[in-house]
Structure 1
């Protein structure tokens, strides 16, 4: 009887050990120790608990990507400012990233990869690549160089989403939390200033001329939309709310003739790629905001970027535009 009970207990112990070991393999990170944390005992257990995960995993459009838990040589495309605010300085970034006017004081030492030139990236010998380019051919080339995380444009639809998302990928959750707390405090101050001068019910539109085409913009990554609508919470005209913001559309192509149907009490206007509005055009001059000189012309270099650092800078500029405009109106 004793032998039977001993064997039964031993069998149960072995089964439990297998179950515990299996559960331990389902996490997103791989521990640098080779022994399961749960099955180790005594001194071995203390050593394993003190060790650090050497890799992480993240789910992407290309499946689960495993990458170094503490990458030392990151190459980035489109997310440079966010990495910098998290305390990660990449070794390489695209030429477009490095032209961002909002980060010129913090990019020293980062090498240009042109427009994701494979040869240059290979020379930099990265251990992690983060890119917004969703072209399958680009991923295939880059992933042969180093673990590559593709986060397509508009993966993140707000400053909080982007900072928290990349903070989690890079193990910089505390840095993300701290930066966002400071960001929220500044935005709240700007929002209070704006609300102190605008009248209830006043609306704001974002228009753009791009080449020979005209666009409306919503609360997304284009032309200050994140700063104007999402952060400062300025009110859009009803049609922009209904046709763009509510369904999650970030832009809409329209003809010049219908711009008046989407015009708010104030208009933010972007002219890019050689486009220039004919300021004497009858359609344009018929818009009330134009008649009352309530059009803010945006600097493309400052309002095309849509990273968290740029959004804060844009919110500050928009606030100054509105406050100055209101002071001018009240003086007349």
Structure 2
């Protein structure tokens, strides 16, 4: 299926006042206040009150390109080659400039004459201060849940209604996918996902990233040993395990993500999948192992929506009706 993005309901929703948003995962609150002229005050994830344009026309974002696309918000620049090109169809960002690695320099950002910049919380303060000299710069918690990030971006751009519509449509599609898979992954069966990097470290996913879809959205159960890890530290993206203990964390279905474009990681993953430990796992023996590209390791609205389709096709062996991307104008 050619990657597309949601075009969610923009009508049949009453216009509401922007409200205080509480971040679901890490507490990054954001809010909007009135200000004089053509600006308004936005309280970002760092608690800073930033005067932002009411109708920004030249927006540059670091990392939040998927949220922008999901809400139909235009941007002039984002980090394409570093992240976006791995998760978004190139034509979706054809008119958007690549800002490259902003840690290495801000020349490209400055050249775009941005009137608003949106960045994640993990940027060094020096970089943030330099960006603020170019244009008003707002920080959004990238470590928050997908819903929290989407709502924060929606509030910033006056698209709160669209954000809620996106979430409602996503949950409706998730419910359909869950119903479709009810006869495949039966009650009591478990599922787990792994990734192996070039550092030869093997990780099993918890509640975040692809785990948010598996255990949150679709309600699948992790195997007992993984469930213990999650209970002990539920906010972890993943947990380091040794290849020898992999069978202890393997569910009735297993998934493995390959970091494409990283030759060392690809080689290590291939060696693992052709080794005795992986081949001895019951899920592999029973044909219940699924290999996924690295694009499925990302945690953003567009990836999460496509992942519903991908998992449905993978788990059913491509059988049944083809999944359909939700269209706000036609369902």
1:289 aligned residue (276, 283, 287): 283
In the TM superposition, what whole-angstrom CA distance separates every residue of 1:223-262 from its partner, at most 9, and x where no partner exists?
x223222222221112222212662221111111111111
- Which whole-Å CA distance do the structure 1 matches of 2:197 and 2:83 have between them? 21
Look up the match of 1:169. 156
1:313 aligned residue (296, 301, 306): 306
CA contact (8 A) 1:206 1:217 kept: yes
Q: 1:98-177 residue pairs with structure 2 within 5 A?
A: 98-116=84-102, 117-132=105-120, 133-154=122-143, 156-157=144-145, 159-177=146-164
1:68 aligned residue (44, 47, 53): 53
- Which whole-Å CA distance do the structure 2 matches of 1:266 and 1:240 have between them? 13
TM-score by length of 2: 0.77
Displacement after TM superposition at 1:103 (Å): 4.1
Give the secondary structure class of the aligned counterpart of 1:197: coil
Displacement after TM superposition at 1:134 (Å): 2.4
1:208 aligned residue (170, 195, 200): 195
CA RMSD of aligned residues (A): 2.2
Look up the match of 1:190. 177
- Which whole-Å CA distance do the structure 2 matches of 1:174 and 1:280 have between them? 49
Unaligned ranges ≥5, structure 1: 1-26, 34-52, 328-332
Aligned length: 277
1:92 lines up with 2:74 in the alignment: no
Look up the match of 1:22. none
Larger helix percent = 1
Unaligned ranges ≥5, structure 2: 1-30, 321-331
TM-score by length of 1: 0.77
**Pair member with larger Rg:** 1
Displacement after TM superposition at 1:65 (Å): 2.6
Distance 1:191 1:135, change over 3 A: same
**Runs ≥4 in structure 1, deviation > 4 angstroms?**
none
Give the secondary structure class of the aligned counterpart of 1:55: strand
- Which whole-Å CA distance do the structure 2 matches of 1:115 and 1:176 have between them? 28
